[in-house]
Chains A and B, each alone.
Chain A
Amino acid sequence: MQASTSLPSAQRTRDTQAQGLRRAVKRRHTRAGLLFVSPWVIGFLAFFVYPFFATLYYSFTNFNGIQSAKLIGFTNYVDLFHDPLFKTSLFNTFYYTACELPLSTIVALGLALLLNMDVKGRAIYRTIFYIPSIVPLVASCLIFVWIFNPDSGIVNDLLTDVHIPGPGWFFSIVWSKPSFILLGLWGLGQPMVIYLAGLQSVPREMYEVADLDGARPWQRLRYVTLPMISPVILFNVILQLVLCIAYFTQAQVIENGDVGGPGTSTWFYVQYLYEQAFEYLKFGYSSAMAFFLFVVSALIMVALFKSSSRWVYYASEQQ
């Protein structure tokens, strides 16, 4: 009897001890896990969460970066819509994005399709087309200004040889934005490689089935290739969209002193935001610009993701 009562008791003690041990191990694992992820968490809180809310707060203030910020309500947001340069910078960025995004998608995908073909020297072609994307951005910009210089650049020399008057490129109000779009197309190695990886993951059997059904090359592309790589297209479109919206470095390097010039033809949104903060010391106003940009970007992204259910095909979901 004693034994029968003591056994469950010992069992309970052992269970309790085991549970305690498991909890201790779990706590230790949690601590270790948190410790391991803490650099990222701290970085995320310090460099993303805090700046995000700080930007939101400063957007409602008059703040010069040094003196204490004074709350002014929605004044900065109201001022935005009375600022012609704000509208210009928004238009320029929209223009650039509207042209660059489809063009870069078509060109990068087109190159990837070509480089995916089984031709001799394929590796060399791939290398050649990828090289521009590893050239430092500033160097690319300077090279572009050089070769597109309307006075001494090789592009206009070639155009002159075929009796076409060369445009003013970066120096012309009319041609400056198209010039930046061309520059954007030059460094498409990165998305091209991603498309290439996507193309290589399309199962061969799909093409064999399509061939058996008598599909022509265009039909193979339309009904096999594009649906199968549509997740990759979505990924690249999002990346390119972010780069277009935040367009800054190339414009800053190429304009070199004549910011936004010639005229106001290349005032891009983030450039104008930067100028407001660090040249005009209007940190409150630039915070409002930043938050406005966040809202617009978020809306575009939501729309893109919503639309993706109609044109992006995930093979795993179908299974």
Chain B
Amino acid sequence: MNHRGGKGTDAAGRSTGARSHRPNGLKKRSLAKISTAIATAAIVGAVGVGTTGVANASVVNLTWWTMWSGATLQLLNQMTTQFNKTHPGIHVSETAIPSSATASTAKLLSSIAAGDPPDIFTEWWPEIGEFAADGDLDSMSPYLTGKYAGFEKWEYPVAVQGGTYRGNLYAVPMGLNSWALYYNKGLLAKAGVMSPPTTLAQLQADQAKEWVITNGKVQQLGMYPDLNENGFLFYASFFGAMNCFNAAGKYDYENCAGAKALMNWIASYSKYPYAQVMALQTAMGQVAGGDTDIFSGGKAGFTLSGPWEGAQNIPTTGGKGLQGDFGVIPFPGTVGGPSTIGQGNFNIIPQGSAHPAQAFEFISWLAGYQNEAFMGTIDPKGGWVPGGPSVTKQPAYQAWLKANPWLGPFLPQMTSKYTVAPALTPTQAELFNAMNTATSNVLEKIMTPEAALKYIDQQGNS
């Protein structure tokens, strides 16, 4: 037996038992050392964390899940940093999670089920009604006392409406959208249209002059209702078709005059090739990594969009000549008066949040409540309408408005009595999907407007 070099081998150089004994001894010692090191590291780590202030016992740590990346995420980082700086007792950590609706919902649900949800979650509104109805959210109404007693009055009415379910406030937007009609001055001039339309009939006539279809391919278009993914929903307030319910509280778009008018208007675009328009939209998005739509790419006379279009999309492709060559008007011929859909990026407090009161403090701060000056600098960068009108009075926001006169129509319509948010209901997601499907079916002549409205009711009430 040979023990040289710590290795046990027989004369033929094969392993022997001695070989395995020695390394085992070493292994045990190594394991002991590793265990000690891990334990020491854990203790040191724990002490270290305890002294950083982030996990200090007096500091409340909040987790915030958002769905953005890129420039918007950078803005959110700025907001979080500012909040942490000005609120030494609270520390917010932000996490970006996948942005598709179903993926983010799945993540949120599993975190609630596991008893470890984030304290704040930013949500598109389709699921808020469902979440609220199922008891998956903490109501914010109990916090509307003391310095927050005036919070709801401070917000835009449509923001309150869009976040309220059965009298309880469940969601607060940190930024709202306001929709108006963009027009491409150059394309209109080329088509002989010297001023933007003031009536729906005029819009129809003007947009028809801009379509260019060669060999079955759409090269350029005037206007198309389905460019915003959900043509019916985003145009609903203009036609008085936002919340159509019957006496029993069920969706009833089939018997809603506004809904009929809107669906007929959508059907008037079925003479254009749906597939080719959608293909052009996709091609434009692919070229610029998904940021460019047909309008910002200079291929559409009109589009319905929010202030972010002019603030973010158009500058991105500004080199192509659209920058400075567009205007914005309220959607012409709206029922009643100027209006828009009340929609935005809402923050919610999932059930089981460890610190709901502090979460509400952060959420109201994000909306701009008692934080007007700071949000007045942030909202313009995102192209957002703030949660409350007082933010728009701030010097930074006013400077933005002054520098960009095209923003004119967006704010006044926020306070219009015709501006409404979709009512929160347990089947809102089903309703929105049905509106989307019905719109494309009408544009592809698969459904009549009447059948489409019936379909919306059927799915929305399922």
Using a CB–CB cutoff of 8 Å, the interface residues on chain A facing chain B are: 64-67, 83-85, 145-146, 149-153, 156, 160, 165-169, 171-173, 175, 257-264, 274-275, 278-281
Contact = CB atoms under 8 A, between A and B. Distances in A.
Given A146-B286, A262-B440, 4 more contacts: A150-B276, A263-B447, A279-B101, A280-B427
Given A151-B283, A152-B279, A165-B216, A278 B106 contact: yes
B48 interface: no
A314 B105 CA distance: 50
Contacts of A258: 229, 436, 440
A173 B134 contact: no
A263 B444 contact: yes
B274 to A, nearest CB: 7
14 contacts: A64-B136, A66-B109, A145-B282, A145-B286, A151-B283, A152-B279, A156-B217, A168-B276, A169-B275, A171-B278, A173-B444, A173-B446, A275-B102, A279-B126
B462 A83 contact: yes
Contacts of A263: 437, 440-441, 444, 446-447
Interface residues of B, number: 45
Contacts of B436: 258, 261
Count chain A CB atoms within 10 A of each CB in B102, B215, B430 and give the residue with the most.
B102
Contact of B437 (A66, A149, A261, A281): A261
Nearest to A285: B462
A216 to B, nearest CB: 46
B144 to A, nearest CB: 25
A66 B276 contact: no
Nearest to B134: A64
Contacts of B276: 150-151, 168, 171
B138 interface: no
Contacts of A151: 217-218, 276, 279-280, 282-283
A153 B286 CA distance: 12
B458 interface: yes
Contacts of A172: 274-275, 444
Contacts of B217: 150-151, 156
Interface string B263-299: 0000000000111101110110010000000000000
B437 A264 contact: yes
B282 A261 contact: no
B112 interface: yes
B257 to A, nearest CB: 25
A258 B275 CA distance: 13
Contact of B274 (A168, A169, A257, A274): A168
A78 to B, nearest CB: 13
A130 B462 CA distance: 46
A160 B433 contact: no
Given A146-B286, A263-B444, A66 B112 contact: yes
Main secondary structure of the interface of A (DSSP, over half): loop
B168 to A, nearest CB: 17
Contact of B135 (A67, A156, A167, A274): A67
Contacts of A169: 275, 279
Contacts of B208: none
Contacts of A150: 216-217, 275-276, 279
B109 A85 contact: no
Given A66-B109, A261-B440, A171 B102 contact: no
Contact of A149 (B106, B130, B279): B279
Contacts of A175: 275
Given A83-B462, A149-B282, A262-B275, A257 B229 contact: yes
Contact of B130 (A145, A153, A168, A281): A281
A168 B279 CA distance: 8
A168 B276 CA distance: 6
Given A171-B274, A171-B276, A281-B134, A152 B437 contact: no
B449 to A, nearest CB: 14
Count chain B CB atoms within 10 A of each CB in A65, A166, A260, A275 and give the residue with the most.
A65
B429 interface: yes
Interface string B202-230: 00000000000001111000000000010
Given A83-B462, A172-B274, A261-B437, A278 B215 contact: no
Contacts of A165: 215-216
A264 B439 CA distance: 11
B299 to A, nearest CB: 10
A275 B130 CA distance: 14
Contacts of B274: 168, 171-172, 262
A123 B101 CA distance: 45
Contacts of A85: 459
A43 B120 CA distance: 34
B123 interface: no
Nearest to A281: B130
A171 B279 contact: yes
Nearest to B104: A278
B44 interface: no
A151 B212 CA distance: 13
A153 B217 CA distance: 11
A263 B282 CA distance: 17
B279 A259 contact: no
A279 B282 contact: no
Contacts of B215: 160, 165
B275 A280 contact: no
Contacts of B440: 173, 258, 261-263
Nearest to B427: A280
Contacts of B102: 274-275, 278-279
Contacts of A67: 134-136
Given A66-B351, A169-B275, A261-B437, A278 B134 contact: no
A150 B462 CA distance: 35
B406 to A, nearest CB: 27
Nearest to B273: A168
